[in-house]
Structure 1
């Protein structure tokens, strides 16, 4: 018999004849597990402990429940949603345990899926059911249930099922991420066999690191993850994998920081008089926070290695002014700067506001311009050929000290004479690769400043990993009024639909204006850069969307509202597919008070400032991420008038989507919301790309929970790098680090 290793095909532990072939195909095609290593790194998503099997004689509403129960009935239903008239499907199960019956509801995308659930949970099937207890119409229910089948499978599996049921009732039982036709007991059985035939595994962490930091070896950790006898064994195994993942990541980041320092960056220490002239002409004093952050950025720009700094602050706190002063310092040093904005509306807004702030300093080289000034240019996709040619020429020649634009700046033919600083506004609207494409246009690595009112999860993650310095403007924006934010749960309260539009009419009747924001332009066409929020379960698996079918769109809402609940009001639309002149015309009309209600996509998310707008209605609000919700809400309450933001949703109470909306309604603190975003969405792709293979995937580490472990691993990485930069004495670690470095998109690890 040949030796089985981590690289052996999964068939070596599954079998290769008859129906085993079908099982192998399912493991490979459905779960992506091709080798024994892939199998062993397919970790359980949770565990069930005998002590956690609930007593059901005294149920309490809202309590977590875990029971072994038998299915009494299973039925599929189709229904019509009262709020939107659309048809839905569900499966209803009734299970019994210790004389108590519980109802479970599973929503399905189609009637076929609902009936498939019925086939899987025929009466007599036993399983483990977990969830939160609720009571509806005098019947106990299990909300958002997680279910694992125990018995009721084909005859040849009943003996194994009985053993599994016995295993469930003692010790810890692993519950794996799985998909039909593979069940958790299939995975548990195969992994148990694989662990029994594998020889002792060489530990990639070597001997020194585990001994120094109190870690169990790899073989012990794998058995502790898959076959733990108690919580102590499980926690020791989890610590081993969390520390190992953190250490490898920290080593890669440390090596890249070292490589970047070797490449270096141009020190930008000033020398010209642009910044001094600007400061002298400012009609107001900088705040203490703006001065402090400005000094931090100035010190960074003077270093011979690239700045990588996040500037966060609420809308109106002065981020753009701080960034502009940084850009002027780079121009004073002979370099050029780029301000990248996610939409043409925002890019144009930045261009106008910066030119206005700079005055004659923005007309360097032109008649009437200051002798200490520079040229400010704008580049967007909707410009005509002559406008684009002028902008491209000014950037390539070095004439334009400051270039402002959208994704058009990322195009291959855009060139700069000496790009020294890249400023990215509202970074959650840009992918890592897009931001990297711009920084790659520099001769030497440019300095990077990213601005946001709500840090995205990736940024928070990289902050903890130590690759992003953070500056915060903490002063409250001047002239901002409180904003009342309320969730409008149409699934529970369909009658509130009419009240939403009554409130809009009330505000317009007071002489104010309102925004209505939809997640789609028309049909299923999303705004450029708009990505729907995705909710995941405990295992990181994507949950189905709150609302099936067509989402609210600007093009469908506008006529419906104008002819219905908003009849008689002046209604207009705004989205990214409109011509540039039309977008400008609509925004000017709205700012002038000639439009009562603006029905828009997220193009108004940032850069739009209309003091008289007091109300915002967000349709299908669950489709927006926390950062977007917070930013969109910031469009109202800007003129000293109290603001109102209504989050319209079909999300169920207790669902991740509803929790997200409730949290936004409860807080206006951007950083607090970013932490919630991180908890819900995980850390984003900290490694820069979706990794495959057991050697490189980030499976156990969670940034908020494991901050101490990450910092501990950072210290270990620094010690290892100082003693042995090439990791010659730690070949296992070196191999892991090299594999991660060679991953197709690991170039983007440290770019946030």
Structure 2
């Protein structure tokens, strides 16, 4: 598909439909130099709107020094400190000189290191870094001989800034510290913003918040808030500005969700009431286990909603292995009993095929309509994926279109225009976070009448996240696990300790000798390929993914090097494991996203039967794959994954009667935030607690779909874990506004910002498609 239509702004800059207008849509290079614009671009800042929404990370005071003790290795930091000393000495091993300066907060110290071809090239820095001078220093925290240091940091002393500050009367104003990089410093960003603010007026800014809402919550207008957040005269200014923008972000988001919900509810659904002695009752009678109390309660809620003409719009979340699939299957069978069809959308072929196998196993003769030996109440389940043969695809399409198949299971292939499901009464979307909203709605649009919707996720979602990410849905939660699960123990394995690595392979051997199966998960398919080789690895900040050493060093022991930040890959790890003396005689298989469906099926079959009891794989096995004999999960470069994803991976083992073991291998330094995050993962098996911690440690991400679209987060100040009151207030007000004014004609500024959010998301979806 081609690119979406693009508008051209008055300055000749192409922009997406609905993008920022007027001055806000102008390129930053019209207001700052080309060099600064290029550096800003590396931070994702390309327009004036981007620049103005690049809010300070924190605020500092000239008289208050930063706490140096809290600095972590690998962090890019900006600190305010005082120079304690600055000395130049010649290099010992080669020509050149080194300037070593020490800065202090009064308690702790940090070294600044500058290299030069000769002493004279460093004297400029030595003069500026006089003892007693105070200033701002920015760079990435490294280590040398056990001491933390910044190498060639950017810096400005307050002596450098005094003339400017005094002339503007800013000596006592809070100093904004912006998210920056090696390419551009915080104070350079501050100056660029000041240039733009000088020429900005109220007419340039859409006002997203209704006047009565601003008054009720004591919030300033948009222009005042922008000036306060970037050029505060006191702490009260930036605090009030941040409050305003948190409300704005929440209000725009909740308005989008309210409009979506209102549109979905405006068209009635076909009522699908339960039927006595139908296929669902027959299914319940053949279940080999008793439903948990949670499954029964959610089942009652879903049953009632399916029986009505108001479309069900429900999110079903639950721990790994809590039985969401059974709840969804009972709902689909209720719809089939009422004369409808149901479609289940899965994010990967492996998961879609797993769902089909699970459904066929659970239904037995109930899924064999048209076959000899089928039950009286039988239906048929078919699979639709992109890689099916032409003949199999034609057969599945015909079964779905004729209504013969009551259950249609598939991947994105279900969204194709050629797929017809005329009596579609229920859409089930598994692992919703892998899809955009448009994909969900594209499948629902295939129905003659609005179908009911059940969204499932095994990634636990805190309540406030559910209100934002899935604010158009009602939420049900399954926390209770089926009886008989033995549980999983987790250990973090430091890659720099050879004996720990040796013990890891010994432990793997023990599991296989006992009859278990072992997953060895790698973040990449190939170490020499492009970014496409990375499958479903969490989008972490650079400082969160410091991985040292090669796969070979980790597997065979030895310390890594910060110069070799190669992720473990299936193609590298597979032959290495086959050479390990500890694993002699053990067949090792592989599975990843480049393999054909037939190859994946064969790999999983060999793994499940024990023909290859060790499977080196990517996160293609993250969800849905169910091998009860799997007792061990070994995650290579575990720091490359988010906490929720690690929890998902861990959920693949310990699903039978034998206890599971999860080993998270990392080369991250023990004192780093990354290692702390992995330790938290090892200490807790509560997916909901880990999900909340994941949000605290990482950016919220874009709740309107950035994880799918690849664009930056629309939430810059709103924190879904701590701003529940803001989200609640915005949700109530937005729903009331949409109820009385669906088109937002009374709030043009809000309508513009909503259009920008939705159009950007739609354009990103079209570009992906």
Q: Which interval holds the TM-score relative to the shorter structure?
A: 0.7 to 0.9
- Counting matched residue pairs gives 707
- Post-superposition Cα deviations, 1:421-453, rounded to whole Å, max 9, x if no partner, equal 222233344455544443343333332222232
1:552 corresponds in structure 2 to 568
CA distance in 2, matches of 1:24, 1:150: 17
2:614 corresponds in structure 1 to 597
1:279 pairs with 2:288: no
CA distance in 2, matches of 1:55, 1:580: 54
Q: Which runs of 5+ in 2 are unaligned?
A: 1-19, 92-97, 550-563
CA distance in 2, matches of 1:297, 1:396: 26
- Post-superposition Cα deviations, 1:145-202, rounded to whole Å, max 9, x if no partner, equal 99762149xxxx9456774999997441001234566433233335445545555667
Q: In the TM superposition, what is the alpha-carbon distance from 1:130 to its structure 2 partner?
A: 8.0
2:82 corresponds in structure 1 to 69
Q: In the TM superposition, what is the alpha-carbon distance from 1:7 to its structure 2 partner?
A: 3.7
1:82 corresponds in structure 2 to none
TM-score scaled by structure 1? 0.81
**Cα distance change, pair 690–390 in 1 and its aligned pair in 2 (3 A):** closer
Is contact 1:487–1:662 with CA below 8 Å preserved after alignment? Answer: yes
2:492 corresponds in structure 1 to 487
1:378 corresponds in structure 2 to 383
Is contact 2:464–2:720 with CA below 8 Å preserved after alignment? Answer: no
Is contact 2:525–2:533 with CA below 8 Å preserved after alignment? Answer: no
CA distance in 2, matches of 1:393, 1:159: 74
Residue in structure 1 matching 2:525, options 521, 525, 531: 521
Residue in structure 2 matching 1:43, options 49, 55, 66: 55
Q: Matched residue of 1:400: which SS?
A: coil
**Cα distance change, pair 173–468 in 1 and its aligned pair in 2 (3 A):** same
Comparing 496-505 with 25-34, greater Cα deviation is found at: 25-34
CA distance in 1, matches of 2:657, 2:585: 24
**Cα distance change, pair 44–133 in 1 and its aligned pair in 2 (3 A):** closer
CA distance in 1, matches of 2:165, 2:229: 20
1:469 corresponds in structure 2 to 474
2:642 corresponds in structure 1 to 625
- Post-superposition Cα deviations, 1:39-78, rounded to whole Å, max 9, x if no partner, equal 433322221134641588xx7999999542348479999x
Residue in structure 1 matching 2:724, options 707, 717, 733: 707
Q: Matched residue of 1:507: which SS?
A: helix
CA distance in 2, matches of 1:35, 1:632: 39
**Residues 394-405 of structure 1 mapped to structure 2, 5 A cutoff:** 394-405=399-410
1:189 pairs with 2:191: yes
Q: Matched residue of 1:745: which SS?
A: helix
- Post-superposition Cα deviations, 1:498-543, rounded to whole Å, max 9, x if no partner, equal 2221221233344433221222233437889922222237xxx997
1:245 corresponds in structure 2 to 249
1:606 pairs with 2:623: yes
- Post-superposition Cα deviations, 1:603-637, rounded to whole Å, max 9, x if no partner, equal 33334333333222111112233333112212222
Is contact 2:225–2:244 with CA below 8 Å preserved after alignment? Answer: yes
Residue in structure 2 matching 1:587, options 604, 616, 634: 604
Q: In the TM superposition, what is the alpha-carbon distance from 1:10 to its structure 2 partner?
A: 10
Q: In the TM superposition, what is the alpha-carbon distance from 1:21 to its structure 2 partner?
A: 4.6
- Post-superposition Cα deviations, 1:406-428, rounded to whole Å, max 9, x if no partner, equal 34333443222222222223334
CA distance in 2, matches of 1:563, 1:97: 51
- Post-superposition Cα deviations, 1:3-41, rounded to whole Å, max 9, x if no partner, equal xx994489999998xxx7546754775566666555433
Q: Matched residue of 2:269: which SS?
A: coil
1:651 corresponds in structure 2 to 668
**Residues 96-111 of structure 1 mapped to structure 2, 5 A cutoff:** 96-97=103-104, 102-103=109-110
Residue in structure 1 matching 2:330, options 325, 345, 348: 325
CA distance in 2, matches of 1:370, 1:321: 20
Residue in structure 2 matching 1:664, options 652, 663, 681: 681
1:535 corresponds in structure 2 to 540
CA distance in 2, matches of 1:550, 1:701: 34
Residue in structure 2 matching 1:295, options 295, 300, 303: 300
CA distance in 2, matches of 1:428, 1:618: 22
Q: Which runs of 5+ in 1 are unaligned?
A: 78-90, 113-117
1:573 pairs with 2:586: no
Is contact 1:456–1:677 with CA below 8 Å preserved after alignment? Answer: no
1:230 corresponds in structure 2 to 234
Is contact 1:60–1:133 with CA below 8 Å preserved after alignment? Answer: no
**Cα distance change, pair 175–370 in 1 and its aligned pair in 2 (3 A):** same
